[in-house]
Structures are given as C-alpha cells and as structure tokens.
Structure 1
Amino acid sequence: MLKILVTGYSGFVGNVLASQLKGGYQLNLLGRKPSNLGCVYTHSIDSKSPYSDALSNVDVVVHCAARVHIMNDIARDPLNEFRGVNTLGTLNLAKQAAQAGVKRFIFLSTIKVNGESTTGKAPYRAHDQRAAEDPYGISKAEAEQQLLELGKQTDMEIVIIRPPLIYGEGVKANFASLMHFVGKGLPLPFRSIKNNKRSLVSVYNLVDLIKVCIEHPKAANHVFLASDDYDLSTAEMVALMAKVQNKKNRALPMPVWCFKLAGKLFYKNDVIDRLTGSLQLDISHTKNTLNWSPPYSVEHGFKLAAKKPSTK
C-alpha cells in the first residue's frame, strides 16, 4: 500500500482529498489540527522546518498547503509573505522529500500562474508561458519553476496542477457570498453579463484528478490545468445558483458598460474584470494525457456548495 503525505489536510481541498484517500493508502498529514484520517505531524510550511518524520517511508507527497490569495492584502510586502510559504516553504519540503526517497511530488498551484484574464484571448493552455501578475501567482510560478528544476536534478517526479476558482461544500469568500445573496432572493444586477465565460472546478473533480495523478505513469513531470470542462457566464452562474436553491432567478439586466464605468470611477477595474470578463482554461492536455474527464457535473458541485453549514 502506497504511503501518501498530504499537506494542508484541514483546508478546503486537503480535507476532501484526505477523506477520499483514507482506506486506500497509508496517510501522513502535515498540519496543526487533530484528525482521525491519518498520522498528524505539526510542522509549518517555511524555509527552515524539518520534515524527516512526516516524510519517513512516504511514496508520494500531495502539497495542498499554501498562503492563499487574499483580497485587500494589508501585508507590508505581500510578495515576500507569499514567497515565504509558497516558494521557499514548498522548496524546503520538496528538497527534503527528494532526499527521503519520495517518488512523486504533486504541487497544487493556481491558474494565476498563467495570468488574470482571457478576455479577448484564447483559453489558457498548460504549455503557455507563465505570466503571473499578482504576488500570489508570482510565488506559485516561482515554486513551479524551481520544482521542475529539482525534478531534473533528482529522481523525484514532479506533477503540477493549476486550478481556477474551486468550489463545493464549505466554500467561502466571494462564491459563498454570491450563493447566499442569490438564496436570499435579492435582485442582483447580473442578468446582462452573459457574454463572458469563466472556468471553475468543483473540489470533487479536482480531488478526482489529484487521485489519478498519484499513480498514473504519464502524469510524471507534467503541468495540468483543471476545470469542470463546462464554462459559465456570470449570468449563467447566478441562474444555476438560484436553481440549486429552488429560488426564482431575480437577476436584473444592468448593462455591462455600467459595471465598467464604475470600475474606472472607483479604481476597481480588476474587480470588475473578474465579474464581467473571461477566464477560461483549455484542459485538453489533461484529458488526453491522463485519459481523464471530470466525473461530476457543475450542478452537482453547486448543489453541495449551497448546503447550509452544520450548526452542531
């Protein structure tokens, strides 16, 4: 039975992954919360921590832990903060993994490595040149480059997965807020935003892809983009959120130019582009290389994302 180390196991992706791996693999878990899913090691992801105990006899590392993208980051030097965990911490863990004889290192990256928008452009592809723009994306891009170089210098196989926005039960931030407002029946002004397209990935499809990458021989030393392979406009997203909550879609048809004008007036062009622009992924390389297709529908993920948190 293969032994897997999952970092960030208490996070949104890591928890679903560890839960699905339990029983089929021996699990080591890197983090700070107790768990009955595997053996827990309480180490931080940084440039200095030792991981020899957590890496003992491990065959595959799935590295989900990260300093995640933060809206309105107040850190004095955000790039330095992101690099400390996402670049230097990742490389520290990977180097020790290679020394410990780990066969494969799977790195959960981000589509932000490719850029912020495909508005007016073709969908991003796995082999496109990296073009990260914000500190989070830059830190992940630097980690990717150094991991691939480490793979060339050692016998450890590197697998990189770049997802877009991830959703599912327990999702937080903007997706959860929008789902909540739609569920309240509020008349949101998004009906006219129907010409953009956004790629998303449910956590269940992403975890299925990670599971394939753990053992698939053709996954070694590849970069894979992940999505549900079904892109939505903002208007379609809101309509589906209403449907899965058995609510009437009360979205109003405010012209897109109004949003763009507001973005210019309030210096929020980046926010407006995320709302009205496109960000699409071409996952043909992932599907063809791994003979994989997303097993779960977008509606399946939206239904679970709409579930109310337990009050127990």
Structure 2
Amino acid sequence: MADKIYGVIGATSLVGAALLPRLVASNCRVAAFSRRKPESENPNLQPGSLVWNPKGVEITHWISLAPIWVLAELLPMLEARGARKVVVLSTTSLFTKSRSESPAEQRLVEGIRTSEAMLAEWAGKHDIEWVVLRPTLIYGLGKDRNISEIARMINRFGFFPLLGEGVGLRQPIHAEDVAQACQAALDLPEIKNRAYNISGSEQLSYREMVLRIFRCMDKQERLVSIPRWAFKMVLLLLRRFRRFQDWSVAMVDRMNQDMVFDHAEAEQDIGFKPRPFRLEVGDLP
C-alpha cells in the first residue's frame, strides 16, 4: 500500500499532468484537486493510487499548481486539512513584467508579489513550512500557452511575425522538469521557507526558439520581421481569433528583451537538473 499521501491543487494543469504520474510512481497516494473535470484516461496512474477532490482527508504535504494570485482563497482549506508543508508554483513574471507599461501586467505583478508575501506570513503564523518555485517559460505535452501557442499560429498562418530581430534570450523549461522540482522541494525536509527561480538549462534567442518550433513541425521556416507600429495592426487582426486575445504589445516588446534566470541555487539544494530546449513531437499540439 502506498505509504504517502500528497495533496495537489491545480492537478489538471500542464504541470499537474506531468506531476501526478511522478508521484504515483514514487509510491505516493495522491489527493488531486481541480475545478475542472479531470481526464479519465491516463495509463501511467495505477488504480487506487489517485483520488480526485476527496473530502475530510487530512493532508500534511501539498503542492499548489494553481495561479498564485488565487492562493488567498486556498489557505483556509490547507490549514483545515492539517498542512505542515506547502510547495507553491509562482512565476518569474514577478521580475520580467515589473517594468511593463501594461496596466494589466502591473496588476499581475502586484498580485504575484502580494500572494508570495501572504503565503510567508500565513505559514509563519501557523508554523507551516513553505517553498516557492518560480519557473521561466513553461512548455511541453502540447498543453502549454507558450510554445504551443506559437505552433498553433504557425499552423494557422504559415509564418511567424517577429518584432525586430527577436534577439531577447529565453530559457524554456519543460513541464516535467518543473514537476521534478516540485516533488524534490516537497520531499527534502531541509528545504523550507525560501523561494527558488527555476529555468531551462539552455539560453537561446526568441528567434532561435521559434525556428526550432518550425523544425520540429517539419515546416519551412518563415519569419517576418515587423516594425512596432505595424505589429500593433497585426495584433488587432490576431485578436479576432479567440486564442490570441491575450496577446499584447507589451508581450511583443519582450521578444527583444532578455528573460533568463540563474537556477544554481535550485541545482545545489534540490538537485534540479533541467533539460536543454529539445522539442519532441509530443511537446506540440
């Protein structure tokens, strides 16, 4: 019989899809929580090792994959369930969007900052250990909103627009590597009450990142460099498609800004060893 039970919030998320099989394979009993209906088919999960949205079960160890800005509404539930350690997924957007001119992105940054501070205060008050992990651009399993969105745009239009040359550096991190970091941070008793930035092992330009998506899709590489004023017009057209309604000028501007983070502390403390950006067919929709 499995000898551990871990609570996973946001279990139907991208990282959740990578994390649940890892926990089950580690002989953990998993209490998975999600507001969305879970996918019933998953051959990697052993029968009886996973329970969805259980009631009245005491759970001491938790991983929250839900957006950190909804954390406040989750804390009373964690406390009531007897939480003793909580690993929370945040984001490096806390830093990369801090100088954004977009009011929406400024509100997002403030929400992240407030939520991280609230977690530390709440945990200290109730003698609960906490760890915050801030990943960079997450991709994988064909379910992300980063690499997969670029791939969908290439499929729809046959090209990809770049603002200028797209020279800003990126460190894409695979969802499975994020899941590994979450499990390690929860399992290691000495890791507590601190935050880590986690990133992919390879730095590459935004332009090269897009070119690798073309190659993985076995499509002719067609990049179109567009000046900023023209990109605004392109965005107006893209927003007619529901999938691209969240695209903004601020997001496009970052194509030429470096967004890289050192993960040496996570490597040293939790054995974090991310892969380079090597796309496989299963990583795209």
TM-score, length-scaled by structure 1: 0.72
CA-based RMSD = 3.1
The match for 1:6 among 5, 8, 16 is 8
Unpaired stretches in structure 1, ≥5 consecutive residues: 43-50, 68-81, 120-131
- Kindly tell me: are residues 63 and 87 of structure 1, through their superposed partners in 2, closer, same or farther at Cα, counting changes over 3 Å? closer
Q: Distance in 1 between matches of 2:156 and 2:96?
A: 33
Q: Distance in 2 between matches of 1:13 and 1:180?
A: 20
Q: SS of the residue aligned with 2:278?
A: helix
Counterpart in the other structure of 1:92: 76
For residues 51-62 of structure 1, what are the structure 2 equivalents within 5 Å? 53-54=56-57, 56=58, 58-62=59-63
Counterpart in the other structure of 1:138: 110
In structure 1, what residue type is equivalent to 2:97?
E
- Kindly tell me: are residues 112 and 189 of structure 1, through their superposed partners in 2, closer, same or farther at Cα, counting changes over 3 Å? closer
8 Å contact from structure 1 (residues 106, 160) kept in 2: yes
Q: Percent identity?
A: 19
In structure 2, what residue type is equivalent to 1:12?
L
For residues 7-156 of structure 1, what are the structure 2 equivalents within 5 Å? 7-23=9-25, 24-32=27-35, 33=37, 38-41=50-53, 53-54=56-57, 56=58, 58-66=59-67, 86-97=70-81, 100=82, 102-116=83-97, 134-156=106-128
Unpaired stretches in structure 2, ≥5 consecutive residues: 41-46, 237-247
Q: Distance in 2 between matches of 1:168 and 1:59?
A: 29
- Kindly tell me: are residues 303 and 297 of structure 1, through their superposed partners in 2, closer, same or farther at Cα, counting changes over 3 Å? farther
Counterpart in the other structure of 2:172: 200
In structure 2, what residue type is equivalent to 1:169?
L
- Kindly tell me: are residues 222 and 239 of structure 1, through their superposed partners in 2, closer, same or farther at Cα, counting changes over 3 Å? same
Shift of 1:26: 1.0
Question: Are residue 159 (structure 1) and residue 160 (structure 2) matched?
Answer: no
Deviations 1:96-143 (A, max 9, x none): 34xx2x331011112122341699xxxxxxxxxxxx953333223222
8 Å contact from structure 2 (residues 4, 28) kept in 1: yes
Structure having the higher strand fraction is: 2
For residues 164-203 of structure 1, what are the structure 2 equivalents within 5 Å? 164-173=136-145, 175-183=147-155, 186-190=158-162, 193-203=165-175
In structure 2, what residue type is equivalent to 1:217?
P
Counterpart in the other structure of 2:213: 241
Q: Distance in 1 between matches of 2:146 and 2:184?
A: 29
TM-score, length-scaled by structure 2: 0.78
Shift of 1:151: 2.7
Counterpart in the other structure of 2:282: 304
Shift of 1:61: 0.5
Aligned residues: 259
Q: Distance in 2 between matches of 1:266 and 1:185?
A: 14
Q: Distance in 2 between matches of 1:159 and 1:93?
A: 18
Q: Distance in 2 between matches of 1:214 and 1:59?
A: 11
Q: Distance in 2 between matches of 1:12 and 1:292?
A: 19
Deviation >6 Å, runs of 4+: 264-267
In structure 1, what residue type is equivalent to 2:282?
L
Question: Are residue 259 (structure 1) and residue 228 (structure 2) matched?
Answer: yes
8 Å contact from structure 1 (residues 28, 38) kept in 2: yes
- Kindly tell me: are residues 260 and 231 of structure 1, through their superposed partners in 2, closer, same or farther at Cα, counting changes over 3 Å? farther
Deviations 1:65-106 (A, max 9, x none): 238xxxxxxxxxxxxxx5xxx142133234334xx2x33101
The match for 2:191 among 219, 228, 232 is 219
Q: Distance in 2 between matches of 1:205 and 1:118?
A: 28
Q: SS of the residue aligned with 1:206?
A: helix
Shift of 1:146: 1.6
In structure 1, what residue type is equivalent to 2:277?
V
Shift of 1:184: 6.4
